[in-house]
Amino acid sequence: MNITPECPEDDSDIERLLDIAFGQDRVGKTVYRLRAGVAPVADLGAVIREDGVLKGSLRFWPVVIGEARVPALLLGPVAVAPADRGKGYARALIWQGLDRARELGYGIVLLVGDEPYYLKFGFTRALTKGLELPGPVDLRRFLGLELRSHALAGVSGMVHRANPDEARAGSLPACESAA
């Protein structure tokens, strides 16, 4: 399996994969409010392609927490083509993404997902007990991970979309054609 950085040319393929994996109504979910009008973190987007065909993708988005506007990442969506589920693509993308986020100095990662699945990566509901999301969500699925020890200590409040000046600058790498 070959994980490569996401390129600008991947965007339409990623959107098609997300529609297949989660449905076109996915954009109405609370986490999409945090992504609206904000670019994903370019240094963390990754894809898996085989023979030019997109098999999986992962993105992270910049968010801030509370009135102090503590920087954090929102993981997701992670998507794998239905025919390729169970091959370990999502796990590989997540591990690689979390390792890269840690290398880049990020301390907090949040997501909305199934705790039994994300527990193996270290995500837990206990870390998000003092946090809120801007819209309806099953709070049992609101999970957090500290990439730095105690990064969430004393952090509380509403999770907000990052302003452009709060998001780390970066652009997607120039890539060779994925075809």
Confidence of residue 26 (pLDDT cuts 50, 70, 90): confident
The verdict on pTM exceeding 0.75 is: yes
**φ, ψ for residue 111, nearest 5 deg:** -165, 165
- Determine the structural domain holding residue 136 and report its residue range: 3-161
Is residue 171 included in any domain, yes or no?
no
Is residue 22 included in any domain, yes or no?
yes
pLDDT at residue number 62? 96
pLDDT at residue number 173? 55
Tell me the per-residue pLDDT of 43-68, one tens digit each, with 9 for 90 and over: 999 999 999 999 999 999 999 999 99
Is residue 136 included in any domain, yes or no?
yes
Is residue 73 included in any domain, yes or no?
yes
Is residue 178 included in any domain, yes or no?
no
pLDDT at residue number 28? 66
CATH number at residue 126: 3.40.630.30
Terminal CA-CA length for the chain: 17
Length of the chain: 179
Is residue 64 included in any domain, yes or no?
yes
Is residue 168 included in any domain, yes or no?
no
Is residue 175 included in any domain, yes or no?
no
* Cα–Cα nearest to 73, from 62, 86, 82, 84: 62
Q: How far apart are CA 89 and CA 70, in angstroms?
A: 31
Domain count, the chain: 1
pLDDT at residue number 104? 95
